[in-house]
Amino acid sequence: MGRIFGTDGVRGLANRELTADMVVRLCQSAALVLTKGRHADELKAEGRRPRAVMARDPRISGEFLGAAVAAGLASSGIDVYDAGVIPTPAAAFLVREGGFDFGVMVSASHNPAPDNGIKFFSYGGTKLPDAVEDRIEEMMHEPALAPTGGDVGRIQRFADAEDRYVLHLLQTLDQDLGGLHIVLDCANGAASGIAPRVFETAGATVTVMGNDPDGLNINEGCGSTHLEKLQEKVLEVGADFGIAHDGDADRALAVDHAGRVVDGDQIMTILAISMKEAGTLAGDTLVATVMSNMGLRVAMSRQGITVKETAVGDRYVLEELDRSGGSLGGEQSGHVILTEHSTTGDGILTGLHLAREVHRTGRSLAELADQIEIFPQVLVNVSGVDRSAFATHPIVHAAIAAAAQELGDSGRVMVRPSGTEALIRVMVEASDVATAERIAESVAGVISKELALA
């Protein structure tokens, strides 16, 4: 069996790959690892058990998987505070703000409704490093803690979880958003109840869509992975711009008043320039992944801002931010981390501060986004292939090398197995779309032929 943790937690088809039994055992193992040595003396002196926050997005399988999480933790002597349906960054915030020992989020983020996943946050609300995830996997083969009597954990409702998070978001703003008309696409996900409330309280006029979750429609034709309806709605109502989240609201992408997409690289450019001017961009440095557009690096260089690169995944961005003391980082996909206010990507927080910048400058989102010139980029997902064979396949890597040589300094090619889906992703940037498409399809064709599953 391969490593069960991917780029962002453990994911799979609910009730097939991700079963209730597996989740119980996973959480029993996490209890062993994440509470070991954690405040042991204080807990003993206070006569209390370790505590964990549990939350989920609204997909239907989250109901039984959430019950499995609670069972796994409580049977390990952990007191569980069930925050219900809230965004992933809200769970991370509550772990940090409440001094909890760790947190568990049941969500498959932008994946379709049949999928689900388990994400863990350690003490302080941060995602787990690879070594800790590996330890949790190892401990799944060891005996569970299995206390009895009064030593088993209790499960209780975290009644004011949403209110605490909303207040936190609003307190990050130093001005209201009065005069702005914003369309919010909540992806029929965890942002559905919170995002409209936050933006309206901040003073914006809000048009809401994708805010009627039924457990099955999360991310379905809406949200940050399907921006077409948001583009139409912004034009229809004449809004200043629109913001789209994914199912667990740790991402934000935007659409300007003319219906043009503003992606994570453009959002980071806007925020980085503003923060540098305000003196709050630590080390005049932005942390981004290797998937960010070349245009981001060019724009940052022009502004005297250094770009540090990480592997794909917002937790790797966060690790670099922690290591270097950075204040801003993120991904092209819309995961943006503002370390002054959050320990993980937070879509609602990102949207608020993007709106703040539009309001503060009096410039349109389109004008602000034009501070970066995006290189044409083509992404091709290759399915039905053996991801495990990718790393050492000579013909595939020869095709990639040939593509890189052809592009030279005028572009780049990146190929990587997805950490969350059964795909290999081929990304090509070039000076024109036709060249990027031709090279991406060529490389993808070689991968599809050489790595095809039997």
Catalytic residue numbers read 109
At residue 301's C-alpha, the angle toward residues 299 and 305, to 5°, is: 100
Task: Give how far the C-alpha of residue 374 lies from the chain's centroid of Cα atoms, to the nearest Å.
Answer: 22
Taking the CA atoms of 211, 217, 218 and 223 in sequence, report the sign of the dihedral they define: negative
Which residues make Cβ contacts (< 8 Å) with residue 344, sequence separation at least 6?
88, 89, 92, 121, 125, 126, 127, 250, 314, 315, 318, 337
Q: Distance between CA atoms of 309 and 303, rounded to whole angstroms?
A: 17
Task: Give how far the C-alpha of residue 20 lies from the chain's centroid of Cα atoms, to the nearest Å.
Answer: 24
In contact, 236 and 209? CB cutoff 8 Å: no
Instruction: Tokens for 230, please give them.
Output: 């948001």
Tokens 């995006």, residue? 374
Specify the 3-state DSSP secondary structure of 198.
helix
In contact, 343 and 93? CB cutoff 8 Å: yes
Tokens 């583009």, residue? 231
Q: Distance between CA atoms of 243 and 254, rounded to whole angstroms?
A: 4
In contact, 57 and 190? CB cutoff 8 Å: yes
In contact, 398 and 446? CB cutoff 8 Å: no
**Nearest partner of 350 among 254, 275, 280, 273, judged by Cα:** 254
Helix residue ranges, H only, 156-290: 161-171, 194-201, 228-237, 264-278
Which residues make Cβ contacts (< 8 Å) with residue 303, sequence separation at least 6?
272, 273, 276
Eight-class DSSP state of 452:
B
The phi, psi pair for 85, rounded to 5°, reads -85, 105
Q: Distance between CA atoms of 103 and 239, rounded to whole angstroms?
A: 37
